[in-house]
Amino acid sequence: MAKAMARHILVANEEQARRLKERLAAGEPFDVLARKHSICPSAKRGGDLGELRPGQLVHAVDQVVFRKALGVVHGPVKTRFGYHLIQVYHRS
Q: List, in order of start, the domains of the chain with CATH numbers.
A: 4-91 (3.10.50.40)
> Mean pLDDT over all residues of the chain?
97
Please count the CA atoms within 13 angstroms of the CA of 77 that sit on its side-chain side.
20
Are 5 and 49 in contact by the 8 Å Cβ rule? The answer is yes
Reported pTM: 0.95
Q: Which amino acid is at 64?
A: V
Tens digit of pLDDT for each residue in 51-92?
999 999 999 999 999 999 999 999 999 999 999 999 999 999
DSSP state of 69: P
Please count the CA atoms within 13 angstroms of the CA of 85 that sit on its side-chain side.
29
